[in-house]
Amino acid sequence: MSTVERSGVDVARAVNAREISAREVTDATLGQIDAVDERLGAYLTRLHDMARAAADRVDARIAGGEKLAMAGVPVAVKDNMCLAGTRTTCGSKILENWIAPYTGTAVQRILDAGGIPVGKSNMDEFAMGSSCENSALLQTRNPLDLSRVPGGSSGGSAAAVSAHLAAVGLGSDTGGSIREPGAFCGVVGFKPTYGRVSRYGLIAFASSLDQIGPLTRTVEDAALAYDVMAGYDPMDSTSIDRPLEPTFSALRDDLRGKRIGIVKEFETGKLGAAIDAVYKQAYRDLEKLGAELIEVSLPTADYGLATYYLIAPAECSSNLARFDGVRYGLRVEGNDVGEMYEATRAAGFGPEVKRRILIGTYALSSGYYDAYYVKAQKVRTLIGDDFKKAFATCDLIACPAASSPAFVSGAKSDPYSMYLMDYYTIPMSLAGLPALSVPCGSVSVEGKSVPMGLQLCAPIFAERELLSAAHAYEKATMHYKNNKLDVSLHRAPTGNLV
């Protein structure tokens, strides 16, 4: 197995044991990035000098007797997270040349634990999208099939992890932006409970929904990264001040005694025979591991999409008002301040961002606020209540992670069909619940094997139970090992551990 194919857990173990240096791991990863990323487009900014300097510091700390949880682990940082001294663009022309003056809390905790930042990864502009096609700066492709999208909005991080250009990718999930690209790229995508990981240093899209989480090739790596990032942060007013339960040390190999809810309203038969077969088999596999399958109902989940596309755009309209050409980012001159605002935003924002700002501004406007925004918040409460009722009879919920496998670039040109991609992930986001996508098999599309993701969801703060169940399923099925990179990437291993 080449160095770049090692899991994050294995890299940290080897670096801590001084079997290999963090610098060697970093050089191998940077070599892999240089070899394939021109064709993949996972990174907007490569951080070769910063990565090598960080690796040398890690090696010095190890030599001094320290043990670091993520020693030498290569990390892709989604480009809506501040990392001091790096270009932080949100995939938008309005921030194309903005340099972050500080490092966000979640990123800093990864660095403090020995993680190595190898690049800033591409994304849908301001995290608004489900395919990574909305980036204004670069097109990212799916490493398993370059004709297909990697999912969004954290498509760059998912693609980087899948293609061995990082062991851990940091993503943000507002309505499914970690879980869906995880499913599309055949990796694990984990969204923690809202407030469990600090959002300080995350450029906001929808503040009541945004949450940082990891994308990894294994559940073990997701647990490792989560344990490092999670925890209270006084710099984030939405951060939860509650003791953490370590997850990595609690991973288990079976599901005996667990009750897993299968949502009555999420009938997979309507997704097509091949997809239905994948999910039916996944549910049987959960049962074989000792879980009891229980039918549960989420009667308001069908309203999740409409609810989300009122609340999220409303919050985006408010958050993106700061990008005015005055304080930072792009500035296009005009005859007066009003013209300057209009010209800057017209040139700096892409079509999807403009669309959501308009929707949100309309929903918040006088005469429509109660009819749209307030009503959507009431439905959000009902969705949360439905989950509470469901979890009274089960420990976890299993359902699809996306409405389809990864689709060909350009196949979903109308906004509505793209919004439907998040049908299964949005209800969990509205309720603030922890959820993840884990590879669960594949379907054949035009003769090519395209991966699917199983979504598992738990009550708030039940990350330990969620990751433990996902690990048991992953270990029993090992679907992620069936992922084959597109041959046109011409991946060449860059080194081996001995």
Q: Does residue 151 form part of some domain?
A: yes
Q: Which residues neighbour 328 within 8 Å (Cβ) at sequence distance 6 or greater?
A: 95, 98
Q: Do the Cβ atoms of 157 and 181 come closer than 8 Å?
A: yes
Q: Read off the pLDDT of residues 48-93 as tens digits, 9 standing for 90 and up.
A: 999 999 999 999 999 999 999 999 999 999 999 999 999 999 999 9
Which among 424, 421, 418, 425 is positioned nearest to 405, based on CA atoms? Answer: 421
Averaged pLDDT for residues 322-326 = 93
pTM for the structure as a whole:
0.96
How many Å apart are CA 454 and CA 437, to the nearest integer? 5
Say yes or no to pLDDT of 141 above 90.
yes
Q: Read off the pLDDT of residues 160-189 as tens digits, 9 standing for 90 and up.
A: 999 999 999 999 999 999 999 999 999 999
Residue 491 confidence class, pLDDT cut points 50, 70, 90? low
Q: Does residue 313 form part of some domain?
A: no
* Token digits of residue 268: 């997979």
Say yes or no to pLDDT of 495 above 80.
no
Task: For residue 370, give the DSSP letter.
Answer: I
Residue 493 confidence class, pLDDT cut points 50, 70, 90? very low
Proportion of the chain above pLDDT 90, given as a percent: 95
Q: What is the mean pLDDT of the chain?
A: 96
Q: Does residue 243 form part of some domain?
A: yes
Q: Read off the pLDDT of residues 326-339 as tens digits, 9 standing for 90 and up.
A: 988 999 999 999 99
Q: Read off the pLDDT of residues 103-116 as tens digits, 9 standing for 90 and up.
A: 999 999 999 999 99
Q: Does residue 467 form part of some domain?
A: yes
The CB-based long-range contact list for 59-65 (8 Å cut-off, 24+ gap) reads 59/15, 59/21, 59/22, 59/23, 61/114, 62/15, 62/16, 62/18, 62/22, 63/18
CATH for 120: 3.90.1300.10
Say yes or no to pLDDT of 304 above 90.
yes
Say yes or no to pLDDT of 496 above 60.
no
Q: Which residues neighbour 127 within 8 Å (Cβ) at sequence distance 6 or greater?
A: 80, 90, 153, 154, 172, 174, 177, 205, 210
Burial of 222 (0-12, 13-18, 19+ CB in 10 A): buried
How many Å apart are CA 348 and CA 489, to the nearest integer? 32
pLDDT of the residue at 413: 83
Backbone angles phi, psi at 9, to 5 degrees: -60, -45
Averaged pLDDT for residues 224-229 = 98
Q: Which residue has the tokens 């990565």?
A: 51
Q: Read off the pLDDT of residues 386-406 as tens digits, 9 standing for 90 and up.
A: 999 999 999 999 999 998 999
How many Å apart are CA 198 and CA 359, to the nearest integer? 28
pLDDT of the residue at 327: 87
Which among 353, 280, 263 is positioned nearest to 317, based on CA atoms? Answer: 353
Active site residues: 78, 153, 177
Q: Does residue 398 form part of some domain?
A: no
Task: For residue 204, give the DSSP letter.
Answer: P
**241: how many CB neighbours lie within 10 A of its CB?**
9
Q: Which residue has the tokens 């997850």?
A: 247
Q: Read off the pLDDT of residues 240-290 as tens digits, 9 standing for 90 and up.
A: 999 999 999 999 999 999 999 999 999 999 999 999 999 999 999 999 999
Q: Do the Cβ atoms of 215 and 137 come closer than 8 Å?
A: no
pLDDT of the residue at 311: 98
Identity at 162, one-letter amino acid code: S
Q: Does residue 378 form part of some domain?
A: no
Q: Does residue 122 form part of some domain?
A: yes
Q: Does residue 193 form part of some domain?
A: yes
Task: For residue 406, give the DSSP letter.
Answer: P
What is the count of structural domains for the chain?
1
Sequence length of the chain is 498
Angle at 8 between CA 428 and CA 279, to 5 degrees: 40
pLDDT of the residue at 360: 97
Say yes or no to pLDDT of 345 above 60.
yes
Q: Which residue has the tokens 């048991």?
A: 472
**Domain of 143?**
8-253+435-488
How many Å apart are CA 222 and CA 9, to the nearest integer? 10
SS3 350: coil
Say yes or no to pLDDT of 43 above 70.
yes
Backbone angles phi, psi at 384, to 5 degrees: -60, -40
